[in-house]
Amino acid sequence: MVGLLLAMVSLGATVARGQKPAVTASSRPFRSIVILEDHSLNNEAVDALENLGGRVLKELPLVNGLVVLLPSEAAVPEVEAVAGVARVEPDIRVFALHHRPGHDGGPPSDNGDTDPEPEEEQTLEWGVDRIDAELAWATSTGQGVAVAVIDTGIDKDHPDLTDNLSGGINFVAPSTGPPWQRVADPDNWDDDNGHGTHVAGIVGASNNQIGVIGTAPQSNLWAVKVLDKNGSGFLSDVIDGINWSVNNNIAVINMSLGTSSDSTALNEAVDAAYQAGVVLVAAAGNSGDGDPSTNEVLYPAKYDSVVAVAATDKSDGTPSWSSEGEQVELAAPGVEIRSTWNDGSYHTISGTSMASPHAAGTAALVLTTLVGTFDADADGSWDPAEVRAALQATAEDLGPAGFDNFYGHGLVDAEQAVAE
Ligand SMILES: [Ca+2]
Ligand SMILES: [Ca+2]
Ligand SMILES: [Ca+2]
Ligand SMILES: [Ca+2]
């Protein structure tokens, strides 16, 4: 008690002496996305940004933008007045969307909810079974379809993933040193969280003798690391991951991540990828309140060019935390899903994060039936709208008859989708 009192007195004395000026929101460095008007990088605009104290951290060619560290948020109006600058938005954080009771909408605080489960004989998990992926495999296993898991990375040496793991890229910069000197090591895409490895296993764990089987067990998995070890990342890194996917012949993007903040830059990035022929699938969010009249669908799932996926449980119900809204396009298993983890083991976790890869894996199954044999030269000569239409038309209607804000068009049906 005496110690606490002394600590309080000494803290008060420090403040009174004014040795630590109060840090306010407006005096903190402000990480921004600056969208330029021209399609070529404008040197005069860059000079003007630097004259205002801004530091250009990197370019975002997909949205004709720059990531700029401004001295403070108060500089935004001046930056917006620079010739050649179209607009400025904050480079916000986005989060992995596995469900943790009491933590929805905020940054994750741990790396997993359950103890590692020992490896055992291979099992067909309830989610993959419920969407009848195993009945689609006679027609399609997603062979050769490139699926980008834009997430926390993928465990580089997980025995249930190595057969299908094609490679990866990292966009997460180190967390120490001056921000303008932090450069991401592109090869550092190993998963330091677990979430991305779990998602990857739902898409494409191997059909072998061990562990689990993914929805598309011969798809090619690409680890696009944009979220850090806490499951949090910059919006600009997500945009970079989408850009990389477009440039590397990725057919399907899974984003089990989101934010409640609308971002024009993110909207433009997903639209550009969709125009380039990529099927984009994302978690609807874990912010549901059970009321279909209020909308909690997160971004990027909420954008028109992205398939928003809600979660279902073993009884075909939607958990109360699964976000509802008119943008929910499909539902897929997302409660108590067992999949691969980044320590080589298996974990059982929940979230729309787990629903999205069931749908993304099914999109990969449909793509092999649409396009035929996939090889490294597959160039996006299919229409992603066709894949979406097939998934919607074959979904199993649940809940209120027809389209509804809980299940969208219904539960993904892989068997019917590949037959379509
Ligand atoms: Ca089944
Ligand atoms: Ca397996
Ligand atoms: Ca609601
Ligand atoms: Ca329905």
Residue 159: nearest ligand to its CA?
2
pLDDT-derived band at 103, boundaries 50, 70, 90 = low
Residue 347 lies in a domain: yes
How far is the centre of ligand 4, averaged over its atoms, from the C-alpha of 251 (Å)?
Answer: 28
Residue 4 lies in a domain: no
Query: What's the predicted TM-score (pTM) here?
Result: 0.90
Name which of 102-106, 157-161, 219-223, 262-266 the model is least confident about. Answer: 102-106
Residues 398 and 272 both lie in one domain: yes
Residue 289 lies in a domain: yes
Ion ligand 2: residues, CB within 5 A, are 122, 160, 205-206, 208, 211
Burial of 181 (0-12, 13-18, 19+ CB in 10 A): exposed
Decide if pLDDT at 169 tops 80. Answer: yes
Residues 81 and 38 both lie in one domain: yes
pLDDT-derived band at 201, boundaries 50, 70, 90 = very high
Average pLDDT value for residue range 142-152:
97
Residues 137 and 33 both lie in one domain: no
Neighbour tally for 8: CB within 10 Å: 10
How far is the centre of ligand 4, averaged over its atoms, from the C-alpha of 416 (Å)?
Answer: 17
Structural domain span for residue 298:
94-108+121-419
CB 297 within 8 A of CB 282: no
Round to whole Å and give the CA distance between 261 and 321.
18
Task: Tell me the CATH number at 306.
Answer: 3.40.50.200
H runs (alpha helix) in 188-234: 195-204
Residues 405 and 305 both lie in one domain: yes
What is the rounded average pLDDT for all residues in the chain?
89
Round to whole Å and give the CA distance between 261 and 233.
14
Round to whole Å and give the CA distance between 305 and 279.
8
How far is the centre of ligand 4, averaged over its atoms, from the C-alpha of 284 (Å)?
Answer: 16
Residue 132: nearest ligand to its CA?
1
How far is the centre of ligand 4, averaged over its atoms, from the C-alpha of 311 (Å)?
Answer: 14
pLDDT tens profile 34-75: 999 876 566 788 888 999 999 999 999 999 999 999 999 999
Decide if pLDDT at 101 tops 80. Answer: no
Decide if pLDDT at 111 tops 50. Answer: no
Residue 181 is predicted with a pLDDT of 86
Question: CA geometry: angle at 167 spanning 165 and 171, to 5°?
Answer: 130
Task: Give the number of domains in the chain.
Answer: 2
**Burial track 345-360 (b if 16+ CB lie within 10 A, e otherwise):** bbbbbbbbbbbbbbbb
Task: Tell me the CATH number at 40.
Answer: 3.30.70.80
Nearest to 45 by CA among 4, 80, 2: 80
Round to whole Å and give the CA distance between 191 and 158.
11
Indicate which residues carry an active-site annotation.
151, 195, 353
